[in-house]
């Protein structure tokens, strides 16, 4: 399948923007997937999703590397392993679940999360006192985080939009840390969820490698810009980006649901 120069320009530009968005808060797929479907009208939806995973894992991994080197969040191997398995399971189950059933639930969750952050200005802007440690409380928090990582990773394999934001909210609320540290940890887990789903798409032959690898370069460039934006803006910037994403995603999913 051949692409015209104009289509290449649109897709490369879109991959750059999507990389920046993914690095800042997540949600780059809201840009990349519609662009792929529009620029390549004959592209199968599964191939668009698989190619997007190849693109997004490149940028997300790049952003994760940059943020982790600077912020050094505590990344437990269990988070990574569980995210990989659950996202792959979600991708395998995607055909069994109707997106029109998921969208209203995700819209509600987005609005609840956005409202919570909006009415609590201090949430995520500074670390709390409930640090995960030994003892009953520490164990309870660790198990709850594992449960949430598994559920969100499974969701990413099935549907995807908002995965990075949901991970940031989960890590911030349960581990009592600021948005900046949660964003760094979320990038590591999100890169793993992308890998789990990507492996399923590769096995199914749903990845357009030539296109995906070119767009991955642009996505990495955007992700590096996004990671540096996060480091420069700090927790308050991530908080503002989260609220913007809630509004944009709710409107986008609502339009999809009722159009």
**What's the pLDDT score for residue 133?**
42
Query: What tens digit of pLDDT does each residue of 21-71 get?
Result: 999 988 888 889 889 988 988 888 889 989 999 999 999 999 999 999 999
Helical residues (DSSP H) of the chain, grouped into ranges: 5-24, 29-39, 45-71, 77-93, 99-119, 135-158, 163-175, 179-203, 209-258
Contact 195, 203 (CB under 8 A): no
Average of per-residue pLDDT values in the chain: 88
**What's the pLDDT score for residue 181?**
92
Mean pLDDT within 204-226: 96
């Amino acid at each position: 399948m051949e692409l015209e120069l104009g289509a290449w320009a649109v897709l490369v530009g879109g991959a750059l923007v999507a990389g920046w968005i993914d690095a800042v808060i997540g949600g780059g797929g809201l840009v990349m997937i519609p662009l792929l479907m529009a620029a390549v009208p004959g592209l199968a939806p599964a191939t668009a999703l698989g190619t997007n995973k190849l693109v997004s894992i490149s940028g997300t991994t790049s952003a994760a590397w940059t943020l982790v080197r600077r912020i050094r969040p505590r990344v437990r191997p269990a988070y990574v392993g569980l995210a990989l398995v659950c996202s792959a399971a979600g991708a395998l189950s995607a055909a069994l679940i109707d997106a029109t059933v998921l969208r209203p639930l995700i819209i509600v969750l987005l609005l609840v999360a956005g409202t919570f952050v909006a009415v609590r200005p201090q949430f995520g802007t500074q670390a709390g006192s409930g640090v995960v440690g030994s003892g009953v409380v520490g164990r309870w928090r660790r198990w709850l985080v594992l449960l949430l990582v598994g559920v969100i990773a499974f969701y990413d394999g099935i549907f995807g939009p908002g995965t990075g934001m949901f991970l940031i909210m989960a890590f911030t609320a349960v581990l009592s840390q600021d948005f900046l540290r949660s964003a760094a940890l979320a990038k590591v887990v999100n890169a793993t969820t992308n890998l789990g789903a990507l492996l399923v798409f590769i096995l199914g032959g749903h990845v357009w490698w030539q296109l995906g690898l070119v767009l991955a370069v642009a996505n990495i460039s955007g992700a590096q810009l996004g990671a540096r934006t996060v480091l420069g803006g700090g927790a308050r910037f991530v908080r503002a980006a989260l609220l913007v994403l809630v509004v944009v995603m709710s409107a986008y999913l609502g339009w999809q649901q009722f159009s």
